[in-house]
């Protein structure tokens, strides 16, 4: 193992131009991937927060049996929470939000209806719940955030598709860089490899330095990437948070740590796979 590690380090130093180019290419790919992952985490958190606040509001006719309506709606499995808002309370809340309406509210009868406000277990079931509410006796109208829900779900789906495409493109670029770097190392050591083959060296012995080289290139790229993205992300969040207090930025150290570990593991895996592909292609006939 010490021999293979020494050979790998010697190859990296000896072919430093290709090594630097590979590390740079992988770092750029991983940095873009890390940035996209962090943006996705924050967007998903924002979408989750917005979805959790979406409500379905049913407006009741005068004299509607609110007790029966509450009992019926609470029995639906799609409903997490339901509350009754009387028209007097609704008017008081409106005046509290818009004090300028206070004088007008005191001069006319309360025009607001009684309402039921509901939160759903799954925002995707908003349309279904709305249809059932409209069939209930005593319900005159239903207001929901179905348009917003559809927009959120469309954004989430589009983000997944873009993420898959981006991952494939960036990892292919990083893999190509590793393959080329290991290929250059193999070509530089062709004579040494031939001597090893003639004296009976095993396939594993010959392949080990190149696999370790791929591992080291992946690890170096991961270290550089994490050294740029995680502190950079924390600086950006620290500056944006005071200006956007309503955005629930991801700050959980454990979650950021998971992103870092996954990114490092991905970089190392790409390094190993790339080196394995290159070795398999260029040493098959010789070994």
Contacts of 236 by beta carbon, 8 Å cutoff, 6+ apart: none
- pLDDT score recorded for residue 287: 44
Please report where in the chains the tokens 């997490």 appear, as a residue. Answer: 80
Q: For 166-196, write each residue's pLDDT tens digit.
A: 888 888 888 888 887 777 777 766 766 666 6
3-class secondary structure, 121: coil
- pLDDT score recorded for residue 192: 67
Asked whether the beta carbons of 152 and 47 are under 8 A apart, the reply is yes
Look at the alpha carbons of 68, 74, 76, 82 in this order and tell me if their dihedral is positive or negative: positive
- pLDDT score recorded for residue 7: 62
- pLDDT score recorded for residue 48: 73
Asked whether the beta carbons of 95 and 101 are under 8 A apart, the reply is yes
Neighbours of 12 (CB within 10 A): 21
φ/ψ of 245, rounded to 5, equals -65, -20
> Whole-angstrom Cα distance, residue 278 to residue 181?
9
pTM: 0.67
Intra-chain end-to-end CA distance of the chain, in Å: 19
- Give me the average pLDDT of each 10-residue run along the chain (287 residues): 62 69 84 85 77 80 86 88 82 68 62 84 81 88 74 76 83 81 73 68 72 85 90 88 79 84 88 82 58
- pLDDT score recorded for residue 106: 62
Asked whether the beta carbons of 40 and 163 are under 8 A apart, the reply is yes
Beta bridge partners of 84: 116
Tell how far CA 237 is from the center of its chain.
16
Q: For 128-143, write each residue's pLDDT tens digit.
A: 888 888 888 888 888 8
- Which domains, from first to last, does the chain contain? 2-50+150-283 (no CATH), 55-144 (3.30.70.3040)
């Amino acid at each position: 193992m010490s021999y293979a590690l020494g050979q790998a380090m010697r190859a990296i130093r000896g072919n430093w131009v290709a090594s630097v180019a590979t590390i740079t290419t992988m770092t750029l790919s991983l940095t873009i991937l890390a940035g996209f992952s962090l943006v996705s985490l924050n967007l998903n958190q924002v979408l989750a927060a917005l979805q959790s606040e979406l409500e379905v509001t049913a407006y009741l006719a005068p004299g509607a049996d609110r007790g029966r309506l509450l009992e019926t709606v609470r029995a639906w499995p799609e409903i997490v929470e339901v509350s009754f808002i009387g028209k007097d309370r609704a008017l008081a809340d409106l005046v509290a939000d818009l004090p300028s309406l206070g004088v007008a509210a005191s001069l006319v009868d309360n025009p607001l209806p009684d309402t039921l406000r509901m939160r759903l277990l799954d925002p995707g079931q908003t349309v279904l719940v709305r249809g059932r509410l409209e069939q209930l006796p005593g319900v005159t109208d239903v207001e929901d955030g179905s348009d917003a829900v559809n927009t959120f779900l469309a954004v989430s789906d589009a983000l997944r598709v873009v993420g898959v495409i981006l991952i494939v493109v960036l990892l292919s670029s990083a893999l190509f860089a590793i393959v080329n770097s290991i290929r250059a190392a193999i070509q530089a050591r062709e004579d040494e490899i031939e001597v090893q083959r003639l004296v009976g060296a095993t396939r594993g012995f010959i392949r080990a330095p190149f696999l370790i080289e791929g591992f080291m290139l992946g690890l170096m790229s991961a270290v550089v990437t994490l050294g740029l993205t995680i502190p950079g992300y924390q600086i950006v969040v620290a500056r944006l948070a005071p200006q956007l207090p309503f955005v629930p930025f991801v700050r959980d150290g454990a979650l950021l740590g998971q992103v870092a570990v996954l990114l490092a593991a991905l970089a190392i895996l790409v390094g190993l796979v790339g080196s394995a592909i290159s070795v398999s292609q260029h040493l098959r006939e010789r070994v």
